[in-house]
Amino acid sequence: MGALHCIVNPASRDHTCGKRWPSVVAKLESRGFEVTTHMTQRVGHASEIAWDLRNKNVEGPIVAVGGDGTVHEVASALRGGDIPLGILPFGSGNDYAITQGIPRKNIDEAIEVLVNGVDRRCAAWRLEGFPASNAGDYPSPKANEWDGSAHNEGRVVRWVFLESDAGITSAISRAKLFRAKWIKGNKKYTYLGITTIPFWKRRKVWLKLDDEEGRILDFSMFAATTGETFGGGYQVCPGVTPLDKEGSIVYAPRLSRLAMLSLMGPMKKGKHIGKWGITQQKANRIEIKPVDRAGNVCDEPLPLATWVQADGEPIIVSPATLEWHTEQLLVRGAASVPWA
């Protein structure tokens, strides 16, 4: 099969990834791959490794071994090029693997996709906004060569290959950087949701979609994805695919705290659209700005921050913009997926 560069996050899935990696290498070598392993050491390191490999014109695919965060970093460096992204899922959610038809719990079947899968050019969202402050050992985002320059001073760019969201969902994700590090797997997010929702401060935002007039709205959350699921299989944006010519947004207005806690069941099956005023519509450009207590739309972040996520990482603060771009990333997925 030839050379295979694998960028491995040993800390993924509570350090299971690093412990199991030698046995995975043996499986890859048994399929004829000559494996070169690149272990990541810090946040952002996977992008640096992938960017260096891309500039050396290595033969692809370049494989992200870890969760959606690792996939995001490798994808960011490969975006716009002709080297395919391969995935061996070793995270908690692995939603990008779900979208691409890559088995999450059977490593042999995931390797089979590397061997006999199909390369497809997939869409991404371009996210531009203010960098969030560092949180514990998680750094504040900086500008990267592979992401391109921001259009506005003081902002940074990230590309979103899975999902971007803002509101109560991003607040819960932000909490993971400080709390519940002792809880493993998806139970962590259940705990963080239960302990964050009762204390989440209500707010209004200014939201503008495409060429519509911007509106000040009561706000609980919005999500924009490239596939149907995130959060470990929750069908947050039903019907969305990486081959869509237009983007899509799911918006939730002011939800009661009980509704927030009750949302998970319907969302798991994609049955939440239409409940509690939740709507979905096409949008290729999404702009969000904070609104202060006097009702003024602000062009700078407020002390009551609304974080915007890039593939599960709450690293941007509004004001922010999202723009849909087709055919951004070459991905090796399963030969048969429902959307292609």
Residue 181 scores a pLDDT above 80: no
**102 or 314, which is more confident?**
102
The whole-number pLDDT of residue 185 equals: 64
Average pLDDT over the chain reads 94
Q: What was the pLDDT predicted at 186?
A: 66
The larger pLDDT score, comparing residue 13 to residue 116, is at 116
Convert the pLDDT of each residue in 215-227 to its tens digit: 999 999 999 999 9
Is 211 a residue whose pLDDT tops 80? Answer: yes
Percent of the chain with pLDDT over 90: 80
The closest alpha carbon to 207, from 300, 306, 286, 305, belongs to 286
For the segment 117-126, what is each residue's pLDDT rounded down to a tens digit? 999 999 999 9
Q: What is the mean pLDDT of residues 58-62?
A: 93
Q: What is the pLDDT of residue 179?
A: 82
Q: Could you tell me the pTM of the whole model?
A: 0.95
At residue 180 the predicted structure's pLDDT band, cuts being 50, 70 and 90, is confident
- pLDDT tens-place string over residues 250-293: 999 999 989 988 887 898 889 999 999 999 999 999 999 999 99
**63-67, 123-127, 198-202, 225-229, range with the lowest pLDDT:** 198-202
For the cut 90, the answer to whether the pLDDT of residue 330 exceeds it is yes
Q: What domains can be seen in the chain, in order of their start residue?
A: 2-123+329-333 (3.40.50.10330), 124-328 (2.60.200.40)
- pLDDT of 10 above 90: yes
Q: Which residue has the higher pLDDT, 234 or 291?
A: 291
Over range 82-106, report the average pLDDT.
94
Q: How high is the pLDDT of residue 255? A: 92
